[in-house]
Structure 1
Amino acid sequence: MIQIKPHGGKLISRTLTEQKQKNIIEQASEYQSVPISADLMKDVENIASGLFSPLEGFNCQEDYESILYNKRLSDGLPWTIPIVLDVENNDIKEGDDILLRNNDHLVAVMHVEERYGFDKRAHAEQVFGTNDDAHPGVAKTYSMKDTLLGGKIDLINESKTPYYKYALKPEETRSLFKEKGWERVVGFQTRNVAHLGHEYLQKSALSVVDGLFINPVIGKKKRGDFRDEVILESYEVLIDNYYPRDRVVLGIFQTEMRYAGPREAIFHAIVRKNYGCTHFIIGRDHAGVGTFYHPFAAQEIFKEFPDIGIEPMFFMSFFHCNKCGGITNDKVCPHNDRIDFSGTKMRQMIESGKRPPADSMRPEVADVILKSGKPFVE
């Protein structure tokens, strides 16, 4: 059985052996420490597990600038989102080994290869396509510290998650797909609970591959997005009641949403390639926010990356056609008697305690949302 190769050809592993972990912990007082956020801690863990292959650490300047202006690493490999560590202007020098900490949690040792400054406005304009701080990614960029450190990391301690049974690493998903005999696997990215439109997308894709990997983002999201536990529980009941269990795997991608639209769509595809997916679903307004991106910009960008190594599966508009009597799309349905899937309308109904109609959402999923009491990030 042939599996898709990781991005760059090799699955990276940057976790220290137990003995080396013990040695560093015992000598921790001899190192300079840098505090990092929970989001950066997850970046470190994703580098260490190979999920961000071929990265072995935070971007050095040559790679950073190449990502910004070419959407590729300096060696030409597709990569669209800078993975960087911003720090206060301190006395850390190139060549130093430092410890990365999240509060009292000792995360990793970093081998500092470079320290450099960066233009926050240029970063925002290139990554997010705008310098408007109404965009959450731009606002975060402007709040970053002024100095970036680049260099390899070695993970010391992995953080705990309440969703541990779904926290599958690339080595584990690849082994699982192989065990199931799946050669063609489609990945599905989401930060929402599932409505019938999402189910239609997933099952349409599943009809032409061996398996479906539903891979919601678990991590920081903007206000009004669904909470992590609600997303996961909604998918649990959906899979239990409406999916063939031997054709679907549910696993989480622990990271923050960056809302970088088309660039994030490429980044998401690369991550799913590292998980072992051969195909990746790109729907309308993938990783978008507000009206910052054209609804199908995330599909158009794939024309720039014929060498990405994973096959995108594009889906346009889909809806419930009253005349056809089910969910369909513009390619096969000639009618105008349709009900569009409006996330905004469904949110409004949920906020008022009303159940979305059965032609929009499965009742089991609606029950999960309504019983949670507070389904949205505040």
Structure 2
Amino acid sequence: MHVEEVFGFDKKAVSVGVYGTDDAAHPGVARTAAMNESLVGGRIELVSRPQETGIRRYRMTPTQTRQAFVEAGWKTIVAFQTRNPPHVAHEMLQKTAITTRDGVFVNPLIGRKKSGDFVDDVIVRCYESMIQNYYPENRCRLATLHTEMRYAGPREAIHHAIMRQNYGCTHIIIGRDHAGVGSYYDPFAAHKIFDDYPDLEIAPIFFPAFFYCRKCITFTNPRACPHGAEDREQISGTKMRAMIQEGKAPSEFILRPQVSKIILDHPAPFVD
């Protein structure tokens, strides 16, 4: 960095502006509070790019992703942001989105996460397995996004959309409580905020939560299924982590068997 400016900043104002709260229990607010008192700005000069090996083997630049989409013949590309291994419900979201689009760009976030989230190696290996076993050829592209989760809810949803717009995507799936944490954000705040950004060149796709209904005998969502919770195969993240820590595999309607095996065989699947 060629330093051009050093300046202080108001941590509380930053926290409220980005996260909508200054509650120290919020992981993003805690990270902001732990920062030093000054910020440094200036021109960045790339000396050398890190080797694209190990967890970085799927890293791609926007130039590379745009070229890959052209080579695949895709004109409409749906981005999928995730910080978790693929639930079958997530797979159904992606496949539903590409029934009327050319392909899905699965772009897991690789980097610092909060305690209890899945580690990066598990996320990548699970997606490799899911794509190999359950996707038709030339309908899904995997690339990793190397940054960190901020858990900023609706504002982070906009940031996620802008990054995927830069990659060349035309659409992005925005789920319930996108980039949320705890109960800090309304579950659909990340849907509503897109009304305030009409100049984006990427279109959000909003889906309710998918689940398997034993009576409908299919994966569906509350808008299409009249049956109650007792007929639905779904599980909270907390309960799923508890099952995995006990060495139990969730139902095949929650996780594909190959995905469950990767997680259960990993010596430390969760961030400490």
Give the shorter-chain TM-score range: over 0.9
Percent sequence identity over matched residues?
A: 55
Q: How many residues align?
A: 269
Correspondence 1:294-305 to 2 at 5 A: 294-305=186-197
Q: Is the 8 A contact 1:319 1:341 kept in 2?
A: no
Secondary structure in 1 matching 2:57: helix
Tell me the secondary structure at the aligned position of residue 167 of structure 1.
Answer: coil
Q: Is the contact made by 2:55 and 2:120 (CA closer than 8 Å) also made in structure 1?
A: no
- Alpha-carbon distance in 1 for matches of 2:180, 2:34: 21
Contact 2:5 2:42 in 1 (8 A): yes
CA distance in 2, matches of 1:258, 1:138: 9
| Offset, 1:113 | 3.1
Q: Given the alignment of the two structures, is residue 219 of structure 1 paired with residue 111 of structure 2, yes or no?
A: yes
- Is 1:133 matched with 2:27? no
Match of 2:234 among 317, 328, 340: 340
SS state at 1:154 partner = coil
**Given that residues 112 and 149 in structure 1 are in contact (C-alpha distance below 8 angstroms), is that contact kept between their aligned partners in structure 2?**
yes
Offset, 1:318? 2.0
Which of 139, 145, 155 matches 2:36? 145
**Contact 1:197/1:341 (<8 A) preserved:** no
2:259 aligns to what?
A: 365
- The correspondence of residues 204-353 of structure 1 with structure 2, limited to 5 A, is 204-336=96-228, 337-353=231-247
Deviations 1:29-49 (CA, angstroms, capped at 9, x unpaired): xxxxxxxxxxxxxxxxxxxxx
Amino acid of the structure 2 residue aligned with 1:139:
A
Distance 1:301 1:331 in 2: 22
Q: 1:46 — aligned with what?
A: none
Measured in 1, the distance between the counterparts of 2:233 and 2:55 equals 35
Letter in 2 for 1:167: R
Give the distance between the partners of 2:90 and 2:209, measured in 1 at CA.
Answer: 11
In structure 2, the residue matched to 1:192 is: 84
C-alpha separation in 2, matches of 1:233 and 1:350 = 17
The code of the aligned residue for 1:245 comes to E
SS of the equivalent of 2:200 reads coil
TM-score by length of structure 2 reads 0.96
1:165 Cα deviation after fit: 2.6
1:297 CA drift (Å): 1.1
Is the CA contact (8 Å cut-off) linking 2:56 and 2:144 kept in structure 1? no
Q: Work out the CA distance in 2 between the residues paired with 1:372 and 1:148.
A: 39
What displacement does 1:216 show? 0.2
Q: Helix, strand or coil for the counterpart of 2:158?
A: helix
Question: Which stretches of structure 1, 4 residues or more, deviate above 3 A after TM superposition?
Answer: none
Unaligned runs of 5+ in 1: 1-109
**Displacement after TM superposition at 1:162 (Å):** 1.6
- Amino acid aligned to 1:154: E
Partners of 2:236 and 2:35 lie apart in 1 by: 34
- Deviation for aligned residue 1:293: 1.2
Q: How far is the alpha carbon of 1:206 from its aligned partner? A: 1.2
Tell me the TM-score normalized by structure 1: 0.69
The one-character-per-residue Cα deviations of 1:91-125 (angstroms, maximum 9, x if unpaired) are xxxxxxxxxxxxxxxxxxx2333322211000011
